[in-house]
Amino acid sequence: MPDASLMEAAVHEYVAAFAAGSPERVAAIFAPDAAVEDPIGTPPHVGHDAILAFYTASMQTGARLELQGPVRIAGDYAAFAFSVHLHWDGSDKRVDVIDTFKFNEAGKVIEMNAYFGPTNFHGFG
């Protein structure tokens, strides 16, 4: 099982990478064959190139992430609640999200799932 402190550190690196506008830093926490399903129920982005492209596009919105409480670690999973803050169409917006990361033995994320829906969008209209 991956080390819990490394798992939590990966979550904090994810948030910091958004703050730095660095999709490369986000992609670096993922295993080469990882899958990102964001939001859950949409086609996954599989593999490093697809994940990098997804986060490059995501960061073009200027989004910044703010953790909402502690990272929860259970087995090889980390779960964390956060808010996405962005300025869109002339006003500030917020999306409340819960992400889960599943880790491999090497401490790399192999699966990411993002949970949010229409009731989690604030200020969009």
Residue 76 belongs to domain with CATH number: 3.10.450.50
Is 89 noted as a catalytic residue in this protein? no
Domain boundaries, position 103: 4-117
| pLDDT tens digit sequence for 20-49 | 999 999 999 999 999 999 999 999 999 999
| pLDDT tens digit sequence for 60-93 | 989 999 999 999 999 999 999 999 999 888 889 9
For residue 84, which of 102, 109, 58 has the smallest C-alpha distance? 58
Is 24 part of any domain? yes
Is 10 part of any domain? yes
Q: According to the model, what pLDDT value does residue 38 have? A: 98
Q: Which of 33, 38, 76, 89 is catalytic?
A: 38
Q: Taking the model in full, what pTM does it have?
A: 0.95
Is 124 part of any domain? no
Is 77 noted as a catalytic residue in this protein? no
